[in-house]
Amino acid sequence: MKKTAYESQKEGRIVIVASEAHRVVYREGIHFDKINDRSSYYSILAYGQSKLANILHAKELSRRLKEGGVDITANSLHPGAIATNLMRYHSFINGLAGWIGKYVCKHIPQGAATTCYVALHPQVKGVSGEYFVDSNIGKPSSLASDAELAKKLWEFSLSLTKAE
């Protein structure tokens, strides 16, 4: 992407789908010391943790791209509540969501709107490190705004992916 942005003289955009579920997480946000601990695993909290990690990743990636003088933005977003089978392993919640969802959830094109906006709209040119909701800059949780937590997650991720 860096090479393409440089050669084309056009801004590159990285769009990371997160969720408002980033607000429902373990107390410390990311369970760094228990990342694979089955005894402390709760699916809803783990899902929220993964969405928090998406927002933190976008923020830290944005910071690093800016620091490197690269014309690439990185943003995260909440697509909205979309009628899907996301809660298929939580039968009661899935049933309730399916029944209520058809009245209050977005249709797939509506759910894709914010993703398309962040990826393509001229008003987002140069905007980086933000969290979007309904095609507007939103306010993520305090954990999702924590620059030190974002750096820690970046370093932790590197430590998990380095070849030995």
Is 6 marked active-site? no
- Nearest 5°: phi and psi at 81? -80, 115
What's the Cα-to-Cα distance from 146 to each of 140, 150, 151, rounded to whole Å? Answer: 10, 6, 9
Active-site residue identified among 6, 26, 41, 47: 41
What b/e sequence results for 96-124 when a residue is b if at least 16 CB atoms lie within 10 Å of its CB, and e otherwise? Answer: ebeeebeeebbeeeebeebbebbeeeeeb
- Positions marked active-site: 41
